[in-house]
Amino acid sequence: MIKVGIVGATGYTGVELLRLLATHPQARVTAVTSRKDAGTQVSAMFPSLRGHVDLAFSTPEDARLAECDVVFFATPNGIAMNEAAQLLAAGVRVIDLAADFRIRDQAEWEKWYGMAHGAPQLLEDAVYGLPEVNRETIRGARLVANPGCYPTAVQLGFLPLIEAGVVDTASLIADCKSGVSGAGRKAEVHALLAEAGDNFKAYGVAGHRHLPEIRQGLARAAGTPVGLTFVPHLTPMIRGIHATLYARLTQDTDLQALFESRYANERFVDVLPAGSHPETRSVRGANTCRIAVHRPQGGDTVVVLSVIDNLVKGAAGQAVQNMNLMFGCDEQAGLAQVPLLP
Ligand SMILES: NC(=O)C1=CN([C@@H]2O[C@H](COP(=O)(O)OP(=O)(O)OC[C@H]3O[C@@H](n4cnc5c(N)ncnc54)[C@H](OP(=O)(O)O)[C@@H]3O)[C@@H](O)[C@H]2O)C=CC1
Ligand SMILES: CC(=O)N[C@@H](CCC(=O)OP(=O)(O)O)C(=O)O
């Protein structure tokens, strides 16, 4: 059994990790932390887990974390970077759901995240946890930087086009919509029902911190820097990301065949039949990215539609997928959920 610790288990990605790991045949959660709710039973806070998780939250200083095989950080940015080195030294593998190890360039990270990096010496070792790109490296990783939610949906949508060299990489556009759970469980006015319900708005147009992360991944695939306009929006739904991606074709190609062949062996990426319009509800609760590719009126603009559940393929599910790779488990272990609809 893989012994698992979760730091920050009272948040949305933390409780999602608990939900997914509750049915994992080879993993057992042994420590779950919270600063504010140490001592509270998990099932008292999350009734959905009653009968599935028999644990109480402990403080983040819990010594049992160092006895785990893997610790997930489901914490805000800037926490894992100060804790990872000690756990790694104790032989514990670390998966950070936050952004501390996602950007290779320290100065770039510090610019976007507005703080000094606490563990720059670990940036080199950290593996970016997008299995559809880095599967073999993730298998041997000690420290995994789990991708952000928007970056997962956007990269999976653009990668086939960029890898095949069939689009102009200087003029990419990602128009994205997220559900409110993307902002986490902390109390914030903009996420209140009366603020976010029955409303729709863009944010971060001048520059969102996922921009450098997406650019880094796409540039790696292109072998050259890319030009990307990324505009996130907040929609009045709880879960889900819908990314509408635009690129200019530079050569004629069978787009449907390109996408089908790129993801033919990927269990968590579903390329829909030509002409489809994927819905966020078709992936709710599941570790699936559904993609459709369009070429409106046969013109030179390609439109890719990519949907994920931000808490699953966009966070906790992808983190479990990475854990499965790191520990030699079936990649689908704990991740066989059928999406919840309606
Ligand atoms: N929500 C989403 O869709 C996605 C989130 N992410 C990233 O995953 C991480 C977690 O997100 P999410 O679950 O939404 O966040 P939440 O705000 O819902 O939860 C954060 C958790 O971290 C704990 N925490 C806060 N500060 C500290 C601290 N200083 N030390 C230890 N624990 C702390 C909180 O509990 P307590 O205060 O009691 O300690 C809580 O359990 C974030 O970095 C987020 O950006 C990534 C992809 C998608
Ligand atoms: C709707 C909403 O607010 N979403 C969050 C993205 C959450 C996330 O994945 O952010 P990290 O990179 O910090 O992990 C945002 O735009 O800040």
Ligand nearest to the CA of 213: 2
Query: Which burial class, exposed, middle or buried, applies to 147 when counting CB atoms under 10 A from its CB (0-12, 13-18, 19+)?
Result: buried
Give the pLDDT of residue 270.
98
What fold is seen in the domain 149-310? Dihydrodipicolinate Reductase; domain 2 (3.30.360)
Q: Which CATH number fits domain 2-125: 1.10.260.40, 3.40.50.720, 3.40.50.620, 3.40.190.10?
A: 3.40.50.720
Answer for the pair 129, 319: CB distance below 8 angstroms, yes or no. Answer: yes
Give the pLDDT of residue 32.
98
- Tell me how far apart the alpha carbons of residues 239 and 181 are, in angstroms, rounded to a whole number: 6
- Tell me how far apart the alpha carbons of residues 17 and 176 are, in angstroms, rounded to a whole number: 24
Answer for the pair 126, 134: CB distance below 8 angstroms, yes or no. Answer: no
Pocket of ligand 2 contains residue 147 by CB under 6 Å: no
Q: Is 149 a known active-site residue?
A: yes
Banded model confidence at residue 249, pLDDT cuts 50, 70, 90: very high
**β-sheet bridge partners, residue 293:** 304
Q: 3-class DSSP state for residue 226?
A: coil
Domain with CATH 3.40.50.720 in the chain: 2-125
- Tell me how far apart the alpha carbons of residues 166 and 184 are, in angstroms, rounded to a whole number: 37
Banded model confidence at residue 301, pLDDT cuts 50, 70, 90: very high
ipTM over 0.90: yes
68, 149, 289, 329: the catalytic one is 149
Strands (E), 146-240: 172-178, 201-202, 228-234
- Mean of all residue pLDDT scores within the chain: 97
- Dig out the tokens for 214 from the structure: 């997406």
CA–centroid distance, 246 to ligand 2, in Å, is 22
CB hemisphere CA count around 51 (13 angstroms): 2
Give the pLDDT of residue 145.
98
Q: 3-class DSSP state for residue 307?
A: strand
Pocket of ligand 1 contains residue 334 by CB under 6 Å: no
* Ligand 1 probe mutation, 16, 18, 35, 112, most atoms within 8 A of CB: 35
Once rounded to an integer, what is the mean pLDDT over residues 254-279?
Answer: 98
By alpha-carbon position, which residue is closest to atom 7 of ligand 1?
Answer: 98
Once rounded to an integer, what is the mean pLDDT over residues 134-142?
Answer: 98
Answer for the pair 5, 32: CB distance below 8 angstroms, yes or no. Answer: yes
Ligand nearest to the CA of 186: 1
What digits encode the pLDDT tens for the residues 223-246?
Answer: 999 999 999 999 999 999 999 999
Domain with CATH 3.30.360.10 in the chain: 149-310
* Ligand 1 probe mutation, 7, 10, 13, 101, most atoms within 8 A of CB: 13
Q: Residue 103 contacts by C-beta under 8 Å, 6 or more apart in sequence?
A: 109, 112, 123, 212, 213, 216
Enter the pTM of the model: 0.98
- Considering the chain, what percentage of its residues have pLDDT values greater than 90? 100
Give the pLDDT of residue 30.
97
What digits encode the pLDDT tens for the residues 64-102?
Answer: 999 999 999 999 999 999 999 999 999 999 999 999 999
What digits encode the pLDDT tens for the residues 144-183?
Answer: 999 999 999 999 999 999 999 999 999 999 999 999 999 9
Pocket of ligand 2 contains residue 119 by CB under 6 Å: no
